[in-house]
Amino acid sequence: MSRTGRTEGPLTPVLRAYLEVRGRTEDQAWAEQVVGTLVLDEVSPGAIRGELEHALPLVRESGEGPAALYGPAQEWARARVADRAEQGLPTVDSSPDARWRDIPVVGSVTACLVSLMVMVVWLVRDGLTVELTWGLLLMPLLAGMGVTAAIATWETVLTRRRLWVAAGAALGVVAVVVAAVTWLLLGTRDAVLATGSTFSLGLLAVGYALFAGLLERVLPQAPARPAPPLEDGAWERQLAGTLRLRLDVSEARVTEIVREARAHAQQSGSSLAQEFGTPASYASRFARDRVARARRAAWGYTALVPLVAAFTVDALVEGGGAPGTSWVWALLTVTLSWLAVSAWRRVRREGDGPQTV
C-alpha cells in the first residue's frame, strides 16, 4: 500500500525505477511501451517485471537511455519473449480464465452493460417511455450469464477435447441461451408491469452492478488444495488441454510439444512431472504464435459477417425483427465487416514481422 492509500500494481516499482535512474520521462515511457507490447502478447506480469529488471542495471551503469541501449521498445520486448521461449523459461500464464463460480458474478456485470445498451436502443426506437415486462427486466441477466457460461464451457471442454468439440459445446450453450432469451421476450411482451421512463433501464444497470458486488462477497471461493502428482498419461492430457486453451497453438503443434516432452522424459528416465513440473508451468515456456491467433480472429469475424448480413437483409427487405431495429443490424454488419478487413490486415502484418516462436 502506498502512502496515498492506493494499491500498487506488480509493475509499478520497476516502471518508477526507470524514471528515477536518470530522471528522464522518456526512459519510463520506453518501459511502458515494453509493458504494453508484452501485455498484448499475454506475457505474465512476473516475466515482464523480470525482463525490465534485467535490463535496468546497464541503464544505470552506462548513463544511456534504454532506447539507445536496446533499440525500439516493441522490437526488444518481442525479442526477449523469443529468447525466453528458446531457453525454456516461463513466459505466458496458461491457466484457464473462466471458473464456474464466476458465471453469476461476471454474468451480472455483463447484464449491467447489456442494460445500458438496451436503454440506448430503446431510446432511439421508442423514445422516452418504455413498457416494462419481466422479459425486458430479466433478459440482460439471462444473456450475461449465458455468455459467461458459454466461455466457461469452451475453456473446460477445450482442456480435455479438440478445438471443434469445444466450439460445438460452446455454440450449443449459446443456442440454448438465444432460445431462452427469445422465449422470455416474446412470452412476456403482452404482460406489461408498468410504463415508465426509458432511463429507468439505467437504474436497472445500477441494480445489476450492485447485485454483482453482492455475489462476489457472498459466493464462496474454491478452497486451494495441493494438486496430486499426475501420472504421465494424465500429465500429457493436461498439457495438451492447456496448450489448446491458448487458442494460438495448432493441434499439430500441440501433438509435437507433447511428443517432445514424452521423449525427453523417457530419455532421462524420470516421470513428466519430475522432469518438467506442472503442465501449466511447462506450457508457459512456449511463446504465443501471433500469426495463428490473428488468423483465427480474422476467420471468426469473417464467419459472422454473412450471418449478421442475413438478419440485416431480413430486417430491411422482409420487415423481420422488431420495428426500428434494421439500422442496428446494418450498423453491426458494417462494424463486423470492418473488423474482418482489419483482422486480415493484421494477419498480413504479423506474417511479415518477426515471430516469437
Q: What is the reported pLDDT for 3?
A: 42
Q: Is residue 200 included in any domain, yes or no?
A: yes
Choosing from 188, 218, 248, the residue where a domain stops is 218
Residue 2, domain member (yes or no): no
Asked if residue 198 and residue 110 are part of one domain, the reply reads yes
Q: What is the arithmetic mean of pLDDT over 50-79?
A: 91
Same domain for 169 and 210, yes or no, is: yes
pLDDT, tens digit, for every residue of 259-302?
A: 999 999 889 888 898 888 888 778 877 767 777 777 877 887 78
Backbone phi and psi for residue 196, each to the nearest 5 degrees, phi listed first: -145, -170
DSSP state letter for 249: S
Task: List, for residues 311-345, the tens digit of each pLDDT value.
Answer: 677 666 655 444 445 666 677 788 888 888 888 88
Let me know whether 75 and 149 are in one domain. Answer: no
Q: Let me know if residue 94 belongs to a domain.
A: no
**Domains of the chain: total:** 4
pLDDT 10s digits, 186-197: 888 888 888 888
Find the domain containing 27 and state its range: 12-87
Residue 161 lies in a domain: yes
The answer to whether residue 208 is domain-embedded is yes
Q: What is the pLDDT of residue 231?
A: 86
Cell 534504454, located at residue: 66
Q: For residue 4, is it within any domain?
A: no
Same domain, 191 and 248: no
pLDDT tens-digit series, residues 212-269: 889 888 887 766 555 567 788 888 888 888 888 765 677 888 889 999 999 998 898 8
CB atoms within 10 A of CB 119: 20
pLDDT band at residue 96 under the 50/70/90 scheme:
low
Q: How confident is the model at residue 26 (pLDDT cuts 50, 70, 90)?
A: very high
- Examine residue 95 and state whether it is found in any structural domain, yes or no: no
Q: Please check whether residues 150 and 201 belong to one and the same domain.
A: yes
d(CA 331, CA 312): 9
Name the grid cell of 123: 431510446
Domain closes at, from 218, 248, 265: 218
Q: Are residues 114 and 171 in the same domain?
A: yes
pLDDT above 90 (res 76)? yes
Is residue 106 domain-shared with residue 201, that is, in the same domain? yes
pLDDT category at 354 given cuts 50, 70, 90 is very low
DSSP code for 353:
S
Mean pLDDT across 105-134: 85
Query: 117 and 212: one domain?
Result: yes
Identify whether residues 208 and 244 lie together within a single domain: no
Rounded Cα gap, residues 227 and 281, in angstroms: 13
| pLDDT of 15 strictly over 80 | yes
Does one domain contain both 111 and 185? yes
Residues 6+ apart with CB under 8 A from 86: none
- Domain co-membership, 271 together with 307: no
Q: Is the pLDDT of residue 130 over 80?
A: yes
d(CA 285, CA 287): 7
* R_g of the chain, CA atoms, integer Å: 25
Residue 97 lies inside a defined structural domain of this protein? no
One domain, residues 129 and 59: no
